[in-house]
Structures are given as C-alpha cells and as structure tokens.
Structure 1
Amino acid sequence: MKILIGIYFFLLHLINLSKSTTPNILIFLVDDLGYGDLGCYGNSTIDSPNIDSLARDGARYTQMYSAAPICTPSRAGFLTGRYPVRLGLTSNDNRFRTFNSPGQPGGLPHDETTMAEIAQKLGYRTGLVGKWHLGLGRNGEHLPTRHGFDTFFGMPVTNVQTCGNKKIYNLIGGHGEVLDRSFLSYWITLTGKVWLTFIGIAFATWYFYSRKLAFIILFAGAIGFFGGMWYTLSFTLLSRSSCLLYRNETIIEQPVHLENLTLRNTNEAIEFMKDTVTIHKKPFFLYMAYIKVHTALFTLPENVGRSHHGAYGDNIEELDWSVGQILQALKGLDIENDTLVLFSSDNGPFLERGIEAGFCGRARTVDGKLSEPLRGAKGQTWECGIRVPGMLRWPGHIISGQIIESVSSLLDFYPTLLKLWNVSSLIDRPLDGVSLWLQLNLINQTLLSSSLFNVEKERDTLFHYCGSTVTAVRQGKYKAHYWTPKWDEGLHACPSVTICPCLSNQHSPPLLFDIEADPAEELPLDTQKHSKILSLMDVAVQEHKATLIPVPNQLETLALPWLFPCCKTQGWTRVFRLITNSCQC
C-alpha cells in the first residue's frame, strides 16, 4: 500500500513542479494557549505584537476549534485531517487520554498519511521543532522521522510539571494558588477504592475463612500498593526521566533543560529554514510545535517579570519574541511572500494549573457584545476547552485584516493544503476537515484550481469528541452537549484528579445553546422548542458513527519498562538505571 501511495505522490510531484502552488509552509502550534491570551483576541495585560501581526496581515478566525480538547488526539487530528477516534488515539479512561509515558508501545498508525508525508513526497524538506506527543514505540518506530519529517528537534512526549522539578498532582486553591500535596495523598485519591476493596476482602477472609490467607491477601495488596507507586514514579510522566529531548532519533538530554529551550528551538527553526532555502534549495514545511505554554512554565532569566501577568504572561511574551524572530528570518531570506503561515493552539488552557494557566477569553456575540468568559477548560468540550486562536497569513495572496466568523477546525488545514497542492485525498482515508479556501478573501482568486474549487464542500456538522465519545455537536449556530464533566467545587476544572473525566454528567435531552448569541454557554435553550434541531443532530451523529471503522487502540496500554528510553546505557547498567529511576545525560 505504501509503495502505491509513493508512486501516486511522485506523479503528483512531477505535475505540481510546474505550478506556483508550493509555497513554504510554516505552522506555529502552541501548547495549551487560551482563546483570550493574545492581544488580537482581547487580552490587554499581555503584549503579543508579533503574533498579533499575523492577524493584522492575514485572516483571524473567531470560531476555530481544535480537533480534540487535549494534546495527543488534537495533534493527531491536525496532522491527518481525521477525527482521532479513527486513528485509535482516544480513550474514555482518564489515565490514557494522552500518551503518559515514553515507554508505551503505541503511536500514530503508519497506515495514516500525515501532511508532512505528502509535503515530503511533493519535494518539500520537512522539519518538526518542539513537541510531538504521538508516541515513540519500539525502537523509535513512531517518532516524527518515521512519519514524514526529515528532521526533528524536540520532546517526543510532553513538558509537564515534573520537567520543571514541580509536582503534577498538587491542588489549586480558590484564588488559583498552588496547594502542596504529597504523592502518597494523590496515590490514595487515585487508587483508594482498589485498596479498600483489597482490605475488605482480607478482613472478610480473616473473619469467615482463614487468617493465613487473609495475611497473604494483605501482603499481596501491599506489594501492589507500593509497587504501583514505584512504577508510576519511575515510568510515567511523574518521572523526570520522561522529560526527553531528541535530535532526530537520538536522545541528547534526559531530563531536558527547560530554561533556554525556547531560545534553542527558535534557533533550530531559523537554521532549518536557512539551510533548506540556501543549501537544499527546496521549499520547506516547518511544524513549529511550541513546548510552551504547557506547565511547567519556563523562561530565560532576562524574561522573568517582563509582563504584567506573572509567570504565565512572561511565557506568552517569550513565545511572542520567538515568533517574531522566525518571522524576521523569513524577511531576511526574502521569502515572506512565498510562505503560508498558520498560527493556532492544540486546545484550551489547563485551568487545573491555577494562576499558571491561561485565560479562556470572551467572544463577541451576534449583536457585537462581549460575552462572559468562555466556560470549561482543557480536556472538556465546553467552549473554553476547544475554541482556540487561529490565524492564516500569506502576503500577496490572502487579503490582510479579514475576520473569519464561520465555524472552522484544525482538521481543516490538511484539506486546505491538499487543495493548494492540487492533490486529492486517498479514497480509503476519508477526511473530516474541509478546505478553508472558500472562506478566505484572496488577492488572486484564480490561484487555486477551479476544477477542485467547484467541488469543495462546506461543513454541515462538527463533532466534538471528549475521549472516544461524541460529547458535543455543532450545527450552524447551535451546539448540543450530550455529556459534560463534573467540576471540583468552585472551579471549572478538576485539579483533584489532574484533569476532568469526560463522561460524568449525561444529558438527555442534551443541553442546547445558541453559540452565536451565547458563546459563554450560560443560557440553555428550550429543547422542546428546538426538537427539529436536535433530531437533525441525532441523525448526523448516527451517520457519523456508521463511518467509523474499529482500529487498535494506541493509548490504552501501560508503559513497558523495557521500552522506556535511557540514554547512553546498555545491559545491566540500563537495568539498574531504570530500576533506580536515574536515566540521565
């Protein structure tokens, strides 16, 4: 199959070489950036002039939605243009909603074709700088270099509090302050029901059957309790050894040094662009997937205190500096007009991190008023968890200063590139996104192939998945919630369990909102008066589910200690370092 795909794209490459439809592609994807974190989206306490310039000089989307409300599935959907449930990269189990260890065997399936693979076959030099989070697998079989990227410099999993010598499992106070919590307390909260069951069985055995067997059960339970603690602290994201930095397929830091990582990533991105243009003399496809602004927060010492919004604001402003440096490099290489730029975020802000999290933001209602802050957070399909900033810039092609208010998705960038490259999608891999070109005002409308333009479709329905379940549906201005999370008291988040589970509250009939009039989702509509809308949504959900083909789940596997990366070690030295959680270089 891969050979046929290769021949297909080689022929398309020969065709496209004669057309001016191969601009450089530069993608800025930020981690956990809130809808309200940038000046061009209404923030007045954080300066982001370089990012704001993308909105000024291009198109800004007011209703751009992520492919999922959390990292791994969102990034998978973005790179493939397909709902992540089709890829086996979703889970309703809160422990497995993302890759939680570099030792898990799963990853982005190789029978899926990323936009980087298409670009590579069309003659682009492709690079990823920053965060991957789509699996490592056995012997690095799922690293970016196995999915269409010529070069990779970054973290194969993700940055978490552990990487900054902080605790993932701390609680958050009523004012967003961090409340210290021991791992033992967190472990009991997480697994307490299991151990209470063990103790109950042991006491029942003692009372009704055998004291000796009861002691054996208690001993086995103790081994499981403390063994589970050791395993979790050694082979999941609670271990600093999981904070890896790779160059291509080689570990270069374990754990990663965060403080100057944005500076290093920026330099890597600029060098990649320079080398591609001046040495390789090819167009480039650069996926700049920022480690920021996921916690642990980090900045260079000179950037501490530069904003009026604390450590989080400092991170945004350092991010903005990085974007500015890369945009300036485009000018220096005289390729600004030959580069299509996308800027967005993988999901909403991680409110479980309190004052270290972003801002959900406010949206304009249909009558021009500002709404209350958007509801929810990362990991949820309330608006705050999935509505993200979105900007497209291509000087000389996309008319500057336009605002796109139609419902759009990060699933859409894949078919947008296919349209630009005059490439048809593969028949056995139906896309869930739609091209963005129909929405855009272009300086030269004949830029794109009229034959493809005529058959482009508009979106009827957008399905919002939380885990493996459609928890919300958007049709036109209406949005229905079939499931919502149960928040910790006084919050719109769930720090007690790290992030809110998807399936806490089921709604039948669903909660229905007019998002154009009520983007904050405060005023549920009378479902009896809108029964026709709900019926259309129900039909759409059933028709969508009928297109899903069962695939192996890539996330719902525990980390295998022998797959856990440990740099520059072999044999018994590797075993010792894995057991003692001391892998480092």
Structure 2
Amino acid sequence: MKNRNLFLLTSGLAFPLLGAYAQKTPKPNIIYIMCDDMGYGDLGCYGQSYISTPNIDNMAKEGMRFTQAYAGSPVSAPSRASFMTGQHSGHCEVRGNKEYWRDAPVVMYGNNKEYAVVGQHPYDPGHVIIPEIMKDNGYTTGMFGKWAGGYEGSVSTPDKRGIDEYYGYICQFQAHLYYPNFLNRYSKSAGDTAVVRVVMDENINYPMFGKDYFKRPQYSADMIHEEAMKWLDKQDGKQPFFGIFTYTLPHAELAQPEDSILTGYQKKFFEDKTWGGQEGSRYNPSVHTHAQFAGMITRLDYYVGEVLNKLKEKGLDENTIVIFTSDNGPHEEGGLTLPSLVVMANFVD
C-alpha cells in the first residue's frame, strides 16, 4: 500500500472515523478480522519475542499502537454482541455464553453424538446489527468464522441478519473442536434459503475425543480461511464489501496440523506438562501446549498476511479498511489488553 497510514485502536473507534473519510472518497471496503482469546502480549509488536507475527507486526510498525483497548465483555458471546449491536453490555440482551443445545435431541455423525440444534442466545431482532446497516448502505457482506449470535433456526442467524455469505461455526461451543463433525454455511449466491450444516465426511470416521481424534484431516480454521479468501477473491470493486472474519484461533482446544509451523515451535519450546483434556467440554488433550499456542498465533498471522496480499493483488488496498482485533482479550485478563489494528491507505490526512 502506498503512503499507508495505520492506526491501532479499539474496534469501537474505527467506525466513527468512516464518516469523515466517506465525505471525500467512494465508500471504503471494510474487512474486520476478529481473533479469539488473544491478548496484545501475544504479538511481537507489543513486545512478544517468542512468537513470530511478521504481518501483524508490520501493520503496527507503519502506524500507531494503543495499549488500552477494551472489549465489551470478558467472555465471547456478549463481547461479540456489543460489537454487533453497538450497545454497552449493560444494555445488550446477550449477557453471557448461554447455550441452546443442552435439551436438544441427539443426532449421529458416524459414531459421534451431536445435538440437533446448537447455538447461543439470539440477538434481539429489534436491535439492528452492523451487517444490516452495511447492507442498507449498499454493501455486499460476508462472514467467516464464529457467529455466536443465535442458535440454528432462531430469529438471529446470518441469513436473517444481513449476511450474504457465511461459513463457520454458528455455535461457539462447537468451535472448541478444530476438527469438527460439521460446520455451518449460508450462501445466497449458491441458492441457500437458510443456514445449513456441512458435514465433515472425513472427520466423522474418527471419534471426537482421544488419540484417534487427531487422525481427523479436516481442520476448520484453514477451511474457514479458505472460504473467506474465495469470497474476497470474488470482489471486483464494483460494489463496496464488508467482510467479518471471526477466526477461532488461538482459542482452545490447542490443536493444529503437524506442519512446519508447529514443528518449528516444538523445537523452540520445552515440552511442558500435558493437559489431559475434558471430553464433555470438547477440549481434547493438549501436548506441548506452548508450541501449540504459538503455532496457532503464527498461523493466524499468516491468514492476515494473505488477506492483505489479496487486497493488494486485486488493487483494492487503496480503498479498503482492514481492522484486526480480539473478541475478549487473554485468559486471566478477559475484557482487557486486547490488540486492535486498523489499516488503510491515506485513511487520515
């Protein structure tokens, strides 16, 4: 990007700046990247010296860093609800990680038990959310990753809340498994009339817990990013676009493919105590946890780099705002010390 001005700021500050920008240029495209359970201490640009995050660090290098960014809540669903609705958590209807699958009938995927309906408390249909605002202003919209704003079939699913294309986890509890039995999809362009389940046919041949779980080959984080990139590649600049990429990395469970990212950190870090997992929570045993956590962050950084490179490749970087943040900060400091980045060429004079 030429003469790029970069700002690190809370997600809440990003959107008021758009008004002044829009007065002198065409409507900017917007990509909002929200990672999961990351604190600013997990990034090199905030002093982390053990984890490689060159793409995010480069964003910070070219702009300003803010170290007092706050989330709407210390936990996922209500924090995301504050972002989506623009409401303070004291006024927002979503007050916690309330689940709607506990009393649902059981369905089978291979030998694996699942619930017929999964998800969280829905956003109030009377409260307008950001994708609906963007649609009303002429944007095409896509969301890829964690939804957590309603359960399947409820009044608040992506197809009913201003999203044209969606792929990921409707339910954040399901997102505990990086090798899931299914993901959710809504594709207006493909003719979907509602959110559907996409079964991971290669995963369901193996159990959901234990050693054989890690034989599952379909890794959700990579699949979600791939769908996000396909959507981004279709954007031609004729219509402004708004993309929400709610990647689940680096939230537990700590799991990823045994590739060069992970093996590099396994050589770098000592092999710490193995956590045994908890089957009911869908957290599998984690081996070499420091290496796993670091690898997931570097993998996320790679995703960010691909997004920025794709925008530049398509000549869209000059009129696209890219926001990077976390949903609710790190463990032990939920709601506090989360990173937030915004990048766009000539965003501010």
Give 1:160 deviation, angstroms. Answer: 6.0
Which amino acid is 2:184 matched to?
Y
Q: Which residue does 1:343 correspond to in 2?
A: 324
- The counterpart of 1:144, out of the listed 158, 183, 187, is 158
- Within a 5 Å distance, the mapping from 1:420-459 to structure 2 comes to 442-443=348-349
Contact 2:77–2:120 at 8 Å: present in 1 too?
no
Q: Which residue does 1:283 correspond to in 2?
A: 240
Give 1:161 deviation, angstroms. Answer: 8.2
More contact order relative to length (CA 8 Å, sep ≥ 6): 2
Contact 2:120–2:148 at 8 Å: present in 1 too?
no
Give 1:260 deviation, angstroms. Answer: 2.8
Give 1:267 deviation, angstroms. Answer: 2.0
Count the aligned residue pairs: 269
Q: Which residue does 1:37 correspond to in 2?
A: 42
1:264 matches 2:220: no
Contact 1:156–1:244 at 8 Å: present in 2 too?
no
Which amino acid is 1:120 matched to?
K
- The counterpart of 1:331, out of the listed 312, 327, 334, is 312
List per-residue Cα deviations over 1:264-294 (Å, max 9, x = no partner). Answer: 222212221221226xx21110000001111
List per-residue Cα deviations over 1:482-526 (Å, max 9, x = no partner). Answer: xxxxxxxxxxxxxxxxxxxxxxxxxxxxxxxxxxxxxxxxxxxxx
- Within a 5 Å distance, the mapping from 1:355-394 to structure 2 comes to 376-378=332-334, 385-394=335-344
Q: Which residue does 1:298 correspond to in 2?
A: 255
Which amino acid is 2:198 matched to?
I
Give 1:164 deviation, angstroms. Answer: 5.3
d(CA) in 2 for partners of 1:42, 1:288: 25
Q: Which residue does 2:5 correspond to in 1?
A: none
1:246 matches 2:184: yes
- The counterpart of 1:69, out of the listed 74, 80, 85, is 74
Q: Secondary structure at the match of 1:314?
A: helix
- The counterpart of 2:31, out of the listed 22, 26, 32, is 26
Which amino acid is 1:285 matched to?
F
- Unaligned residue ranges in structure 1 (runs of 5+): 1-15, 92-96, 166-239, 351-375, 379-384, 398-441, 444-585
Q: Which residue does 1:168 correspond to in 2?
A: none
Give 1:122 deviation, angstroms. Answer: 0.9
TM-score normalised to the size of structure 2?
Answer: 0.70
- The counterpart of 1:156, out of the listed 170, 175, 183, is 170
- Root-mean-square deviation (CA), in Å? 2.6
1:135 matches 2:150: yes
Contact 2:175–2:248 at 8 Å: present in 1 too?
no
Give 1:105 deviation, angstroms. Answer: 7.7
Q: Secondary structure at the match of 2:252?
A: coil
Which amino acid is 1:300 matched to?
P
Q: Which residue does 2:294 correspond to in 1?
A: 313
Over 3 Å counting, the alpha-carbon distance change for 1:109 and 1:258 in structure 2 is farther
Q: Secondary structure at the match of 1:271?
A: helix
Give 1:66 deviation, angstroms. Answer: 0.5
Which amino acid is 1:391 matched to?
L
Which amino acid is 1:387 matched to?
T
Which amino acid is 1:388 matched to?
L
Which amino acid is 1:99 matched to?
E
Which amino acid is 1:150 matched to?
D
d(CA) in 1 for partners of 2:160, 2:217: 26
Q: Which residue does 2:55 correspond to in 1?
A: 50
**Between 267-276 and 320-329, the greater mean CA deviation after superposition:** 267-276
Give the structure with the higher percent helix: 1
d(CA) in 2 for partners of 1:144, 1:258: 27
Over 3 Å counting, the alpha-carbon distance change for 1:258 and 1:289 in structure 2 is farther
Q: Which residue does 2:99 correspond to in 1?
A: 99
d(CA) in 2 for partners of 1:17, 1:123: 13
d(CA) in 1 for partners of 2:176, 2:318: 41
Give 1:17 deviation, angstroms. Answer: 9.4
Give 1:389 deviation, angstroms. Answer: 0.6
Q: Which residue does 1:488 correspond to in 2?
A: none
Contact 1:127–1:151 at 8 Å: present in 2 too?
yes
Which amino acid is 1:145 matched to?
D
Contact 2:120–2:150 at 8 Å: present in 1 too?
yes
Over 3 Å counting, the alpha-carbon distance change for 1:298 and 1:259 in structure 2 is farther
d(CA) in 1 for partners of 2:58, 2:299: 16
Q: Which residue does 2:105 correspond to in 1?
A: none
Q: Which residue does 2:139 correspond to in 1?
A: 124
d(CA) in 2 for partners of 1:266, 1:161: 14
Give 1:349 deviation, angstroms. Answer: 2.1
Q: Secondary structure at the match of 1:293?
A: coil
Q: Which residue does 2:211 correspond to in 1?
A: none
Give 1:84 deviation, angstroms. Answer: 3.0
Which amino acid is 1:297 matched to?
L
- Unaligned residue ranges in structure 2 (runs of 5+): 1-20, 102-116, 187-194, 205-215, 269-289
d(CA) in 2 for partners of 1:262, 1:164: 7
Contact 1:163–1:258 at 8 Å: present in 2 too?
no
Contact 1:266–1:326 at 8 Å: present in 2 too?
no
